[in-house]
Structure 1
Amino acid sequence: MLRHSWMLPTWALLGSLAAGCGASHSHVTWTEEPPRREEAAVAKKSAAEEPHPPSALQDPKAFAARYPNPALCEAAARRLQGQSREEGWAGLKACIEYTPFTQLKALLGRAWAEDLRVRPEGASLIARVVAQRGGSVSGELQALQQQRIPIFSLSSAMDRPDTYKGRYVLLRAQVADQRTEGERPTVWLVEHSLSSVETNAPVGYGERSDTLSSYSGDLDGQTQFTGPGRIGGTVTNRQRTDRVATRRHFDNISDETGREALGRLPQADPFLETRRDYVILARFDGMRMMSGGADTEEEAPRIPVLTIVSYHPPHPLVVY
């Protein structure tokens, strides 16, 4: 009995051990704060390893390639403008040259108004965007004049040559001929306008049916010329029905306006092909007497003379 009095129950022994463990580790906390210095160092290292976006001045093509559409590219160029006006303008040029840029309203907005006014390449960028929008020059000139952009039509320059001499004109034209006068090559320009023509194009299922009816017999009677008698014969009736499903289709047609001009080039340009439409930006130099007319004749035929600044092939689709 004495031996058994020193033996404790198993559950009591476990309980005392648990209590002892709890007392010996009471200083341990399980919600320790993360090492902030290490996280800051890792974040700084990651930011340093990220490549910087390409500079629009150094690599304009790479700058434009970063954006999935022209609108985002123009917005990025506008953000750059706040840091550097030169960098922002280079970004805008990259967007126009390396993306299908048709955002004429954004280009003519307040952000780029000053650059378009003072930079010499501003008018050429506008002409390029007009070409990329399809080359509907007459409609685009209205938008330009609403924003007070000094680019005018060929017809206005021809009506008042003294007022528009030395100013920019924008026209859609084809080259009819190329010649060299002295040391400067000259092209004969035939102005065109863009219009839309509606047609019905057949699509889907077509149906066609033919019906043939034939009747035969004899007819008894009397006529004034032949008297009594019998007339025999056959009567045939034919009907034909066609059914075709059509859809309205609109085609862009380039037509001559009747106005022509002489365009001067600084040097011969093999890429300015004949019988092909171009959107042409030129400086109006005045009217010139055509061959065969006398200087004293008031009604002698005259032709406008232009100095070609830039030209751009128009996109086949028109952006409205």
Structure 2
Amino acid sequence: MPRLPMLTLLGALVTGCGAAHSHVALEDRALTDAPAPLPALVQAPARPPAEDPGPSPQDSRAFAARYPTPALCEGAARRLQGTSRDEAWLALKVCADSPAFTQLGAVLGSAWAEDLRVRPDAANLIARVVAHRGGSVDGELRLLHARKVPIFSLASAIAQPDTYRGRYVMLRAQVADQRLDGERPTLWLVEQGLQSVGSHREVGMTFRTDTVSETSGDLGGRTVLTGEGRVGGSVVTRERTYQSTTEPTYDNISDETGREALGRLAAADPFLETRRDYVILARFDGLRVTSGMTNDDEDEGPKIPVLTIVGYHLPQALAVY
């Protein structure tokens, strides 16, 4: 076998090694030079979980428990208007059942204006909230009239019976008597006004100081009747100092206004107790002649307003102004 020249053999080795190295290098580059995914600079916002719609106002207890404060409850009821006005109104009634619900301003707001205009039970809901606020009817009627809510006072109805016949009146009154007029019970109502009476209540520590001083001595002299003599005795002086710290307090006192009315009920109601104040919503039916003695200057006897009672509510002890 002929021997290859040394130069040719070295060239073949160099060529083969270079080709093999080059193949490995390209293969490694193909694996290592692939572009790695870049890390995200801003994380995509996670999709918020679907909001729990909460219990339906049909379940009044669960709905009231979910929104324990009056403001939260009214806000939840207002949000339901977007899906169902009937459900929203039912929710508001559930909120107003709580004695703590005094949000009359929210009820009279623009969100509920349409409901107050068309709902037959809207006036009674307002009367309930007025009772929760303490039953200061005169002051609350001014607020209602500023919002054009057609509920009026007993005094206005008596003064203009033809104008207010068939309209709602609201009054704070006590039941003086309850009798049957035919088949319908009739209440003798005595209207009450609410006023605030101030007083002072002791607070903190009190201080008291008692001082007793005594002076004694003799007095000598001569009188025409007794001649020479001496008179002795003593004088006792007492002084008392009393100091205390007080703060002003105010109590709500109801007093008769002098106006009375006859209230008709659809059926006897044992929960209407005598000598208790109620906030009463009623329809004004006009004036009725009583059986009193007539005067020479008038052809008829005295007249008394007649009301059809729509609803009544016990007022809270504390008034909200």
Q: Number of matched residues?
A: 293
- Equivalents in 2 of 1:51, 1:263: separation in Å? 47
Q: Give the Å deviation of 1:98.
A: 3.8
Find out whether 1:123 has 2:104 as its counterpart.
no
Q: Indicate the residue corresponding to 1:216 in structure 2.
A: 216
| CA radius of gyration, larger in | 2
The one-letter code of the counterpart of 2:166 is G
Query: How do 1:1-320 and structure 2 match up within 5 A?
Result: 29=36, 47=50, 52-56=53-57, 58-98=58-98, 100-223=100-223, 226=226, 228-293=228-293, 297-298=298-299, 300-320=301-321
Unaligned runs of 5+ residues in structure 1 are 1-21
C-alpha contact 1:289 1:295 (8 A) present in aligned 2: no
C-alpha contact 1:61 1:98 (8 A) present in aligned 2: no
Q: Give the Å deviation of 1:215.
A: 1.4
Q: Secondary structure at the match of 1:71?
A: helix
Q: Alpha carbons of 1:246 and 1:98: their partners in 2 closer, same or farther (altered >3 Å)?
A: closer
Q: Secondary structure at the match of 1:314?
A: coil
C-alpha contact 2:289 2:300 (8 A) present in aligned 1: no
Q: Give the Å deviation of 1:84.
A: 2.1
- Equivalents in 1 of 2:223, 2:295: separation in Å? 86
- Equivalents in 2 of 1:99, 1:31: separation in Å? 61
RMSD after superposition: 2.9
Unaligned runs of 5+ residues in structure 2 are 1-27
The one-letter code of the counterpart of 1:90 is L
Q: Indicate the residue corresponding to 2:6 in structure 1.
A: none
- Equivalents in 2 of 1:313, 1:54: separation in Å? 29
Q: Secondary structure at the match of 2:135?
A: coil
Deviates more, 1:196-205 or 1:162-171: 196-205
C-alpha contact 2:294 2:300 (8 A) present in aligned 1: no
Q: Secondary structure at the match of 2:316?
A: coil
TM-score after normalising by structure 2: 0.82
Q: Residues 109-142 of structure 1, C-alpha deviation per residue, up to 9 Å, x if partnerless?
A: 1111111111100100110010000100000000
- Equivalents in 2 of 1:278, 1:245: separation in Å? 37
TM-score after normalising by structure 1: 0.82
Q: Alpha carbons of 1:304 and 1:151: their partners in 2 closer, same or farther (altered >3 Å)?
A: same
Q: Alpha carbons of 1:99 and 1:317: their partners in 2 closer, same or farther (altered >3 Å)?
A: closer
Q: Percent identity of the aligned residues?
A: 61
